[in-house]
Amino acid sequence: MPSVLTLLLHPEQRRPAPPPPHADLTRVIWLGIAVWVVALLVATSLLLFASGSVEFVATCGAGIALGLLGLPWARRHRDD
């Protein structure tokens, strides 16, 4: 097994990198949006019972909005 110094000096001796895993990003983003919606419901209920904060609700809303913005990007880059 070559040493770290040898691999740094001669990168052609390294093993090739494995191919990247293929994942359906649309499903992953939808799952993230669903988690943010649940968190929004919890944060809103906590806010109504006077033990929550508006920042928590705003953070959940931002997570949902960013997820919705990410859906067209994931669809556009599906073939990459």
pLDDT reported for residue 17? 82
pLDDT in tens, 31-41: 999 999 999 99
- Tell me the two tokens of residue 65: 């909005």
Stated pTM of the model? 0.72
The per-residue b/e assignment along 18-50, b for 16 or more CB within 10 angstroms, e otherwise, is eeeeeeebeeebeeebeebeebbeebeeeeeee
Give pLDDT, residue 65. 98
Decide which of 69 and 8 is more confident.
69
- Of the pLDDT bands very low, low, confident and very high (cuts 50, 70, 90), residue 72 is very high
What lies within 8 Å, CB to CB, of 20 at 6+ separation is none
pLDDT at 80 over 60: no
Residues in the chain: 80
Rounded to an integer, what distance in angstroms lies between the CA atom of residue 26 and that of residue 33? 11
